[in-house]
């Protein structure tokens, strides 16, 4: 999406507010993290002092580790767990993952019921879209898979947060993400599910020079810091959306 100028303008006007408690590199326009939708099941889980999260995703939810290990210790799901635990003192936070590279949304949905019944999470964080765009999967099928996955999660008593594709400047002219991002936004709107707009956030980082997303490197340092920020901003989104607000959350959402 092309909110770029707008966001820059917002930032220049000083209305781009700032996550003061976090290191400067994660600063991002607030409207990218706002969601008008709540996460009532997460709210209840926090009240019950026990929050389980399932992260389901493809290759951009993991990092290659040092010496060829899977590097789970550095990817955003683990950072999410750390950030949630830190911001929710007294709540037992557990993040489990179902992450495998090169999976389309439909492929992930297949394993979803089993994964949900295994960990019984209050929240499903679902990263998808990149692989579907790369394989040029029929957008209708993509929307249908999202729809199905959200329905499965909701009927299993699990809230959903969707994560869209990464901003990847070098491959931007080779992967047509547009339709898939729009379809995700629309499905999310229909189900009143928050979307973590990873694409716009990373794009803003690229533009502000927060991270050099162009660099050709085998080193992991930038990738790890990016995932660290994603994990923490994701935690912010979850906690904000789970805040009980007026009118009090009563599960009618």
Partner 1 sequence: MAPVPTERDLRLDLFRGLALWLIFLDHIPSNAVSWITIRNYGFSDATEIFVFISGYTAAFVYGRAMRQHGFIVASARVLKRAWQIYIAHVFLLAIYLAEIAYVANSFDNPLYTEEMGVLDFLKNPDVTILQALLLKFKPVNMDILPLYILLLAWFPPMLWLLLRAPSIALLASASLYALMWLFEWNIPAYPSGTWVFNPFAWQLLFVFGAWCALGGAQNLSRWIHSKVVVGLAIAYLVFAFAIAMTWYFPRLAVFVPKFVGEAIYPIDKTNLDVLRIIHFLALAVITVAFVPRDWPALKSRIFWPAIVCGQHSLETFCIGVFLSFAGHFVFTEVSNRVFTQVVVSFLGIAIMVAVAALISWYRQAERQGGGPRPPAAKPGYAGGDV
Question: Taking Cα atoms as reference points, which of 183, 184, 134 lies closest to residue 160?
Answer: 184
Judged by CB under 8 A, which of 14, 21, 24, 36 binds partner 1?
36
Helix (H, G, I), strand (E, B), or coil: what is residue 212?
Answer: coil
Judged by CB under 8 A, which of 96, 152, 182, 240 binds partner 1?
182
By the rule CB under 8 A, 3 interacts with partner 1: yes
Q: Which two tokens stand for residue 89?
A: 């003192």
Binding mask 69-108 for partner 1 (x = CB under 8 A): --------------------------------xx------
Taking every pair of Cα atoms in the chain, the longest distance, rounded to a whole number of angstroms, is 51
Judged by CB under 8 A, which of 22, 82, 96, 139 binds partner 1?
139
Q: Helix axis angle, 221-242 relative to 198-208, nearest 10°?
A: 130
Backbone torsions φ then ψ of 138, nearest 5 degrees: -55, 120
- Residue range at the interface with partner 1 (CB under 8 A); choices 16-24, 38-46, 105-113, 161-169: 161-169
Contact between 209 and 52 (Cβ < 8 Å) = no
- Residue range at the interface with partner 1 (CB under 8 A); choices 16-24, 79-87, 145-153, 218-226: 218-226
By the rule CB under 8 A, 189 interacts with partner 1: yes
Judged by CB under 8 A, which of 175, 239, 240, 244 binds partner 1?
175
Judged by CB under 8 A, which of 54, 201, 213, 233 binds partner 1?
213
Contact between 166 and 202 (Cβ < 8 Å) = yes
Q: Where do the H-state alpha helices sit in the chain? A: 4-13, 40-47, 76-87, 105-119, 130-134, 139-155, 178-191, 198-208, 221-242
User: Residue numbers of the site for partner 1 (CB under 8 A)?
Assistant: 1-6, 31, 34, 36, 58-60, 63-64, 101-102, 130-131, 134-139, 143, 166, 168-176, 179, 182-183, 185-186, 189-190, 203, 206-207, 213-220, 222-223, 226
């Amino acid at each position: 999406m092309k909110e770029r100028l707008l966001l820059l303008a917002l930032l220049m006007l000083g209305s781009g507010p700032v996550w003061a408690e976090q290191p400067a590199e994660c600063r991002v326009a607030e409207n990218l993290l706002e969601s008008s939708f709540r996460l009532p099941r997460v709210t209840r889980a926090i009240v019950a002092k026990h929050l389980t999260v399932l992260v389901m995703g493809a290759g951009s939810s993991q990092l290659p580790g040092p010496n060829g290990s899977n590097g789970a210790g550095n990817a955003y799901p683990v950072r999410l767990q750390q950030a949630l635990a830190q911001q929710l003192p007294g709540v037992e936070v557990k993040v489990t993952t179902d992450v495998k590279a090169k999976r389309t949304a439909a492929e992930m949905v297949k394993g979803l019921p089993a994964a949900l019944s295994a960990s019984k999470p209050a929240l499903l964080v679902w990263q998808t879209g990149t692989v579907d765009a790369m394989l040029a999967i029929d957008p209708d099928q993509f929307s249908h898979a999202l729809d199905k996955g959200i329905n499965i999660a909701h009927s299993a008593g699990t809230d959903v947060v969707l994560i869209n594709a990464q901003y990847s400047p070098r491959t931007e002219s080779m992967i047509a993400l547009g339709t898939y991002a729009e379809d995700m936004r629309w499905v999310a709107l229909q189900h009143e599910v928050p979307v973590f707009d990873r694409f716009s956030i990373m794009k803003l980082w690229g533009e502000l020079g927060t991270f050099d997303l162009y660099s050709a490197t085998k080193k992991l340092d930038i990738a790890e810091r990016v995932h660290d920020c994603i994990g923490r901003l994701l935690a912010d989104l979850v906690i904000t959306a789970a805040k009980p607000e007026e009118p009090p959350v009563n599960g009618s959402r």
